[in-house]
Structure 1
């Protein structure tokens, strides 16, 4: 009869931790799943029994005193190997409690893209969107069964949703558990599935979703509508609907945050003399007063005529950059008048002037977002 300490390769003074580490090392080498040879199987039996004796304080004490714990079967015996191996390797022991799967599952989220015009985002806009998605089956109302029938308990697993298989090995009786193949783990079967949805409890359909898109949205922004996505299998709860916004560029106006930007072309004479004009903004007309001598690059600000903020009720401004248009073709009379004006005003010749930070700021504001 082999000495238990020699079998595990430890001294008689070995601690419990040393005995445990030695057993784990040898068990990993000799387990039949790793080493299927007969020699390894015999050694594995010896190693396991030695550990069973030496890991128990009372059995080890009797063994050290020459008791019969050195014989197979004196304590837990061979039948206890399964419990020991389960402790270290997570292997199967007795049956585990389990629950059948639910047919009802949450539906998937859906994504819809909506295209807006710049004017739509000033105050927000209401849209009715057509969504192609999964909806509740009206025939079975999510039961998955033909009307008048109902699911039946699976005869294979008895409604548990899983089956157990017992295998006898060198470790003892090992029980494995896996989903029932007859009912796919649901615990019930549907002998008479709904003909409309094919037993899914939902069908594909096009439906209309009404949504109020708030003011201030920008391209790429996604709005979430909880519970407006696809209905789940077997009438499970709906997923969410996400609306991705795309704002078309405008030929006249551009956006800088909540401000609107535009360029106003002004004739040279209107710039010199001043003028009153009316422009068509995105939300109606705006009267503008051009002071005499307005300069190209000047920015006229019309307060509260921009975009309403996404998370506030305050509107941005409408900023209009002035662009003075110089005539490129003059007849003889027009040229003579301009030359006379130049003499009378004694306009200076073109020259470099002192650096004017404000001019560049106006130009930057004017073309920002263009």
Structure 2
């Protein structure tokens, strides 16, 4: 059996709050809804079991003192057969008695936290949106409303422990026969039994179900952003309160726009003649059609900036920008007539190839320079 403290990554003097935080962090990582697979499922069971023991002060004290969560760890030579009594039992008997007898355990417990993923479009990330997800989770049983009992019935006081949740039994030890206290086997320490468990939830007070969940996605989220929904996780046993739900956002790639922080970028390709003469281009942006005017002599790598057409700022005001990268298409497969016109143009302009410092900057150099000047 693995050590419960090691399972949760804690020291043995960890506080209850540290135990709770460690459990929530690991449970979100290995929950079957988030991390399917047998290995993750086994790990989740270990984490849940360790938390169940260490979050209960009495169970934790017993585990710390005996090294065994059931309090049956022995100490060599102190007989442990049927009716035997070990060193751990002696320790628990004398140390536990000082704190008084424990009361019955409650059937009502808080539900587990859960984490799911939600994929959204880039447009939803830019502007924010409402989206509806289908969530597999534990919900309060509608048949019994979380009471665990068939309608019209109720729990009954345990006849074995008379509602105490604990019983005492004599055991033999090197010190003679002494009395030990343990959870009642008749009611599992609850103090009550269910004569007629609910037929729907089998006495658990909750069932598994798939239900729709509508969430508001704020503008500016990105892949990896987590939205915390308090009280929207799994319902607790016995009608207990819900845990929390964490929704991890995944933004789907867009065919036209790329995201760079709060900015968007896109590319427009214009013919060589249009770039030389100047032109206007209509772009389909996430805000609708936008007209961009390109000046005469626009060079490859030129960047037009459309202010305020980027991504909404998640924790700020306003939006980023849309950067339009201009590519100039050089014509290929010229006809003889077109070639003659190009040659005539080159002759009229006195164009020549220049080698050295006077040559024009490369496209990438111009892009870098334009970005610096923004």
TM-score by length of 2: 0.71
CA distances 1:237-261 after superposition (whole Å, capped 9, x unpaired): 0011221211111111100001001
2:147/2:239 contact within 8 Å kept: yes
How many aligned residue pairs are there?
287
- Which of 242, 245, 249 pairs up with 1:241? 245
Among 95, 112, 116, which residue is 1:108 paired with?
112
Residue in 2 that maps onto 1:67: none
CA distance 1:305–1:33, change in 2 (3 Å): closer
**Does the Cα contact within 8 Å between 1:117 and 1:250 map onto a contact in 2?**
yes
Helix, strand or coil at the partner of 2:232: coil
CA RMSD of aligned residues (A): 2.6
What corresponds to 1:362 in structure 2? Answer: 367
| Contact 2:276–2:297 (CA under 8 A) maintained in structure 1 | yes
Counterpart residue number, 1:211: 215
Aligned to 2:93: 92
Q: CA deviation at 1:350?
A: 4.5
Contact 2:300-2:363 within 8 A present in 1 as well: no
Partner of 1:76: none
The alpha carbon displacement at 1:352 in A equals 3.9
Alignment of 1:253-264 (within 5 A): 253-264=257-268
User: Is the aligned partner of 1:187 residue 2:191?
Assistant: yes
Match in the other structure for 1:198: 202
Larger Rg: 1
Distance across 2 between alignment mates of 1:113 and 1:365:
38
Q: 1:139 aligns to what SS in structure 2? A: coil
Q: Residue 221 of structure 1 corresponds to which residue in structure 2?
A: 225
Offset, 1:275:
0.4
Change (3 A) 1:158 1:221: same
Alignment check: 8 A CA contact 1:277 1:287 kept: yes
Change (3 A) 1:296 1:356: closer
- Aligned mate of 1:345, from 332, 343, 349: 349
- Gaps of at least 5 residues in structure 2 are 1-73, 80-86
Unaligned runs of 5+ in 1: 1-31, 38-84
SS of the residue corresponding to residue 328 of structure 2 reads strand
